[in-house]
């Protein structure tokens, strides 16, 4: 393992009008880590991902990727460097087939040499996420769980070093979430560093080695999952006392 | 397959026109090639990238003046035409960076204002352009029949060049990337497409051949003035042609341009009074009735016949 973090965020801030959506946030991701990012709605999680991937420029602070300063990069540059993200609201190319959607990721950010190669790689990624049978359907025809998987396959086709997952499980039923959990474990097993934004604590607690908590734009807590869920500040801001109580009982029993 | 056979056949007919038809037909064929080339050009930015550009007449007019002025300096054809092509391509590439930040209606308005600004410039810079009095262009020696052929084949050459460029783009990374941009620009950016460069490339391609066509047109008609060179009607007509034929397809713009020009010619001859109103109504009807253009209508018709019709017939035969 390399000691230098793959992604480092230093004092990142961004205000919209008077609202400080992200306020002086610093953290680092190490190679191969799975880190959870939690926080209430409007805490600034999506904005943080947008800042890291160049969708919105920061008001201040910096982003280092693989030791290189990439603060003011454009999103397409982030993608080619190996910094991929999924959108909270899925963003397919609706009139293209599922296969073409994934091939686009492989061609423009991944390692595909040409379109034929990109489509061959895309098929592998579709099989990996379990969408191979839908390869030739138009992307717009997929139901929501399928579109979430498509979004994942597209990001994987980009051969990322770091994958930022913004609520990929939102709107899925519990069976679908279990499948998604398995999928994310297999992605992590490929050695991809993952930052996962998630509301389902079950997912966060089973997957993450470390958890970051954002509240009103500030990083209010971070550490291993067990200690973060007991942090009084986190309980008050996000989890609620009932959750903490249940969690305490579960750990006591188990 | 059928489309390419039709394309090759129609090229042969166009090429044969001077030998089998009178000057009126040759002139009409020259217009068919000219508008097809303009509609193909528009397809790069409007059909592939999905940016509704109304700058066609700006590029056409700039090309016309650049070509006419160099031709009047005494340069041999086709040098002034090549010069016009380069000038317009550079102009569009420079302009693209600024104007392609706008989207949708804003881009449409921004692009149409280019036509207006260039027209004002041509009218007021009288020392260079002759202003509102227009500009006479040296007439090609050799007589009207010879000139008719030269201009038909020149327009045809540009149309074919635009068509081949379109085929190449359609199959390339650029074409694929532009299609992504059209469907979701943010997502395209996010998967590693350098959207600014791609859009600028599409805009430049959409301008380049318009510049050549404008210069050839100036040599052909031997006289240009600002309102003819930078015509608002032209800037509106060309996108309509592409939409009519099938935006984002390789044959659609040619088909749309030809149907439009032939309709226009027929209506012009038959209804001297209300020709523009009738033409307008026909075009509006066609576009509303065929949202994907004439080409896609054929496809939709083909579907039922190949899915249900032919196999059904085959089965009937087998059962006998
Ligand atoms: N583009 C934007 N313009 C204005 N305000 C924004 C923009 N993006 C986010 N915000 C604001 O920033 C805050 C954080 O939003 P967001 O990052 O979406 O939170 P989360 O993803 O944690 O729910 C919210 O108050 C939101 O309204
Ligand atoms: Mg969010």
| DSSP for B200-211, written as a single string | HHHHHHHHHHHH
The pLDDT of residue B297 is 60
Residues in CB range of A223: below 8 A, 6 or more apart: A210, A211, A231
The helix/strand count (H/E) of chain A reads as: 10, 10
Banded model confidence at residue A254, pLDDT cuts 50, 70, 90: low
Q: Are strands A162-166 and A193-197 parallel, antiparallel or unpaired?
A: parallel
Across the range A127-156, mean pLDDT stands at 92
Comparison of pLDDT for B237 and B3, the residue scoring more: B237
Q: Which residues from chain A sit within 8 angstroms of residue B173, using beta carbons?
A: 107-108, 115
pLDDT in tens, B248-275: 899 999 999 999 999 888 887 777 777 7
- 3-class DSSP state of A117: helix
C-alpha distance from residue B70 to each of A12, B86, B129 (Å) = 56, 13, 12
Chain A residues within 8 A of B192 when measuring between CB atoms: 76, 79-80, 105, 108-110, 158
pLDDT tens per residue across span A28-72:
999 999 999 999 999 999 999 999 999 999 999 999 999 999 999
Atom of ligand 1 nearest to the CA of A44: 17
Residue from the list B184, B186, B192 with its beta carbon closest to the beta carbon of A108 = B192
- C-alpha A57/C-alpha A44 separation (Å) is 14
Q: What is the mean pLDDT of chain B?
A: 87
From the list B194, B226, B212, the residue with the least C-alpha distance to B121 is B226
Q: Residue B309: its pLDDT value, please?
A: 30
Which of A93, A94, A129, A123 has the alpha carbon at shortest distance from A106?
A: A123
Cβ–Cβ gap A154/B191 under 8 Å: yes
Pick B190's closest partner by Cβ from A85, A95, A96.
Answer: A85
Identity of the residue in A76, A85, A91 whose CB atom sits nearest the CB atom of B193: A76
Of the ranges A19-33, B68-82, B124-138, which one carries the lowest mean pLDDT score? B124-138
Q: Which domains does chain A have, with CATH numbers?
A: 1-82+160-229 (3.40.50.300), 94-154 (no CATH)
pLDDT at B301: 43
Which residues in B lie closer than 8 A to residue A104 (C-beta atoms)? 176-177, 180, 188, 191, 193
Do B81 and B67 meet the contact criterion of CB atoms below 8 Å apart? yes
Q: Which of A77, A92, A108 would you mutate first to test chain B, the one with the most B CBs within 10 A?
A: A108
CA of B35 to the centre of ligand 1 (A): 48
| Residue A71 confidence (pLDDT) | 95
Higher pLDDT, A171 or A164: A164
**For residue A39, which atom of ligand 1 is closest to its CA?**
22
* Cα–Cα distance, A75 to A67 (Å, whole number): 18
A76 C-beta closer than 6 A to ligand 1: no
pLDDT value for A70? 96
CA of A44 to the centre of ligand 2 (A): 7
Q: What is the percentage of chain B residues whose pLDDT exceeds 70?
A: 90
Q: Name the closest-CA residue to atom 2, ligand 1.
A: A16
**B75 or A34, higher pLDDT:** A34
Lowest-pLDDT choice from A137-146, A220-229, B147-156 = A220-229
d(CA B60, CA B70): 16
Most confidently modeled range among B26-40, B116-130, B142-156: B26-40
Among chain A residues, the shortest Cα distance to B180 is held by: A93
Q: How many angstroms away from the CA of B301 is the closest CA of chain A?
A: 20
Ligand 1 center from residue A55 Cα (angstroms): 13
Report which ligand 1 atom has the smallest distance to the Cα of A214: 22
Q: Is the CB of residue A218 less than 8 Å from the CB of residue A48?
A: no
Chain A positions with Cβ closer than 8 Å to B: 53, 55, 74-76, 79-80, 85, 87, 91-96, 104-105, 107-110, 115, 154, 158
pTM of the model: 0.88
The dihedral over CA atoms of A41, A47, A53, A58, expressed in degrees to the nearest 10, equals -160
Question: Is the pLDDT confidence value at B304 over 50?
Answer: no
Mutate to test the pocket of ligand 1, among A20, A44, A86, A199 (most ligand atoms within 8 A of CB): A44
In angstroms, rounded to a whole number, what is the distance separating the alpha carbons of residues B67 and A71? 46
B16-35: average pLDDT: 93
Interface probe with A: pick from B187, B200, B292, most Cβ of A within 10 Å: B187
- Tokens (6 digits) for B284: 């509006």
Average pLDDT, stretch A177-188?
88
Percentage of residues of chain B with pLDDT beyond 90: 64
Contact (CB, 8 A) for B67 and B214: yes
Spell out which chain B residues touch chain A, with contact meaning CB-CB distance below 8 angstroms: 171, 173, 176-177, 179-180, 183-184, 186-195
Domains annotated for chain B, with CATH where assigned, are 2-250 (1.10.3470)
- Span A165-191, mean pLDDT? 87
Residues A48, A25 contacting (CB under 8 angstroms): yes
Q: How confident is the model at residue B302 (pLDDT cuts 50, 70, 90)?
A: very low
A56 phi-psi bin (left φ>0, alpha ψ -120 to 50, beta other): beta
Nearest alpha-carbon partner for B65 in B205, B225, B232: B225
> Could you tell me the two tokens for B34?
């000219």
For the cut 60, the answer to whether the pLDDT of residue B300 exceeds it is: no
Q: Measure CB to CB from residue A79 to each of B183, B184, B192 and give the nearest one.
A: B192
Residue B78 corresponds to which tokens in the numbers above? Answer: 């086709």
The answer to ipTM > 0.95 is: no
Q: Is the pLDDT of residue B284 over 80?
A: no
* Residue of A111 and A103 predicted with greater confidence: A103
Model confidence pLDDT, tens digit, residues B194-206? 999 999 999 999 9
């Amino acid at each position: 393992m390399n000691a230098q973090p793959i992604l480092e965020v230093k004092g990142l801030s961004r205000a919209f009008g008077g609202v400080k959506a992200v306020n002086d946030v610093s953290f680092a991701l190490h190679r191969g880590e799975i880190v959870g990012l939690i926080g209430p709605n409007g805490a600034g999680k999506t904005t943080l991902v947008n800042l890291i991937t160049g969708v919105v420029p920061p008001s201040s602070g910096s982003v280092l990727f693989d030791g290189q300063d990439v603060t003011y990069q454009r999103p397409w540059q982030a993608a080619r460097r190996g910094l991929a993200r999924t959108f909270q609201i899925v963003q397919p190319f609706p009139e293209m087939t599922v296969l073409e959607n994934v091939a686009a990721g492989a061609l423009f950010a991944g390692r595909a040499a040409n379109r034929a190669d990109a489509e061959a790689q895309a098929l592998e990624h579709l099989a990996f996420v379990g969408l191979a049978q839908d390869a030739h359907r138009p992307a717009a025809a997929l139901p929501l769980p399928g579109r979430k998987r498509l979004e994942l396959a597209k990001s994987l086709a980009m051969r990322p070093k770091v994958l930022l997952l913004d609520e990929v499980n939102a709107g899925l039923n519990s069976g679908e979430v279990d499948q998604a959990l398995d999928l994310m474990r297999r992605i992590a097993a490929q050695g991809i560093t993952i930052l996962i934004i998630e509301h389902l604590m079950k997912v966060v607690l089973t997957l993450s080695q470390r958890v970051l908590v954002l509240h009103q734009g500030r990083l209010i807590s971070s550490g291993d999952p067990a200690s973060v869920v007991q942090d009084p500040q986190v309980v008050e801001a996000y989890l609620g006392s009932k959750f903490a109580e249940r969690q305490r009982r579960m750990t006591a029993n188990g | 397959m059928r489309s390419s056979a039709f394309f090759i056949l129609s090229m042969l007919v166009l090429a044969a026109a001077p030998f089998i038809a009178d000057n009126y037909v040759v002139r009409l064929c020259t217009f068919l090639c000219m508008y097809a080339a303009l509609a193909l050009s528009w397809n790069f930015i409007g059909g592939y990238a999905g940016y509704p550009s109304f700058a066609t007449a700006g590029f056409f007019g700039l090309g016309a003046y650049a070509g006419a002025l160099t031709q009047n300096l005494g340069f041999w054809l086709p040098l002034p035409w090549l010069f016009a092509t380069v000038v317009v391509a550079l102009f569009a590439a420079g302009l693209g960076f600024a104007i392609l930040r706008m989207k949708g209606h804003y881009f449409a308005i921004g692009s149409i204002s280019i036509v207006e600004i260039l027209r004002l410039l041509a009218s007021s810079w009288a020392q260079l352009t002759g202003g509102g009095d227009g500009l006479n262009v040296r007439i090609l020696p050799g007589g009207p029949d010879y000139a008719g052929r030269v201009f038909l084949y020149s327009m045809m050459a540009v149309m074919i060049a635009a068509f081949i460029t379109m085929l190449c783009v359609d199959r390339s990374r650029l074409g694929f990337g532009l299609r992504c941009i059209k469907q979701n620009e943010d997502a395209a950016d996010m998967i590693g497409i350098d959207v600014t460069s791609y859009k600028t490339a599409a805009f430049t391609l959409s301008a380049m051949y318009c510049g050549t066509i404008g210069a050839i047109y100036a040599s052909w008609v031997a006289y240009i003035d600002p309102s003819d060179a930078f015509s608002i009607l032209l800037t509106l007509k060309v996108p309509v042609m592409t939409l009519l034929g099938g935006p984002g397809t390789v044959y659609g713009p040619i088909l749309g341009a030809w149907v439009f020009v032939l309709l226009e010619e027929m209506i012009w001859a038959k209804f001297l009074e209300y020709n523009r109103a009738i033409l307008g109504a026909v075009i509006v009807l066609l576009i509303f009735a065929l949202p994907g253009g004439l080409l896609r209508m054929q496809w939709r018709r083909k579907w039922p016949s190949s899915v249900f019709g032919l196999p059904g017939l085959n089965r009937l035969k087998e059962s006998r």
